Amino acid sequence: MKKIIFLMALLFTVPLIAQEHKNTITVVGETETIVDDDSYIVLIGLQQVLVYEGQGEVEVTSLDEVKKNYIKKLEASGIEFSQFTRNTYYEFAMSYSQNRESEYYHFKTSNKEDVRKLSKLKSAGMSVVNTEVEAKKLTNEQLVDLSKKAIDNAKERANALAKEMNKTIGEIISIVDQNSSAQYIQSYGTSTLQSHAVTVSFELK
């Protein structure tokens, strides 16, 4: 009796499973957004000045003097040294390859003119090690708007592919959106565009 009940249940279940299975087509939809600058981080290095004399190196300017001279020139340009933060992590990373007394500092600003001033400022024993640009993060509203545009693009692609197979697309079955709010400056700022892509599956009729 139990076997008969099981077989009857199986007979009713199989058609239901078959009805739930749908042919699908999965495509990637894309759009682009413009990446805007948010802030700039300038990393500078201060080192004692040494020159070769005879068989070795002789100090010409101590690290303290290098620092004092740089601060004077910095303040003359309208930037306070108090705005700099010492970067001990970079000092640790460079300690194995340095044979001079050194200190490293980073300066963060949203003002491009300050970055230009720092890049032009010349002072013995000082060097600009790196300049980094941080991009603005996208808001949730912006992310949703971009995803909608990417889904529209996916629908166009799916329609075109389905037409080639003499078929049509139906409702959306699934959407995979792995985009985050983070944006990145590419190729030293020569490109300000960033791709926004989503994977969409449609019913294929």
In this structure, what CATH number is given to the domain that contains residue 191? 3.30.110.170
Q: Looking at residue 21, what is its pLDDT? A: 64
Q: Looking at residue 197, what is its pLDDT? A: 96
Query: What is the C-alpha to C-alpha distance for residues 62 and 196, in angstroms, rounded to an integer?
Result: 51
Any domain includes 9: no
Q: Which domain holds residue 110?
A: 38-133
Any domain includes 59: yes
Residues 113 and 161 in one domain: no
Any domain includes 96: yes
Residues 145 and 121 in one domain: no
Residues 44 and 72 in one domain: yes
Q: Which of 78, 100, 133 is the last residue of a domain?
A: 133
Task: Report the number of distinct structural domains present in the chain.
Answer: 2
Any domain includes 121: yes
Contact 60, 51 (CB under 8 A): yes
* pTM exceeding the 0.75 threshold for the entire prediction: no
Helix H, strand E, coil C: the string for 36-71 is CEEEEEEEEEEECEEEEECCEEEEEECHHHHHHHHH
Contact 115, 166 (CB under 8 A): no
Residues 87 and 119 in one domain: yes
Q: In this predicted model, what pLDDT tens digit does every residue of 145-161 receive, in sequence order? A: 999 999 999 999 999 99
Residues of the chain below pLDDT 50: 2-19
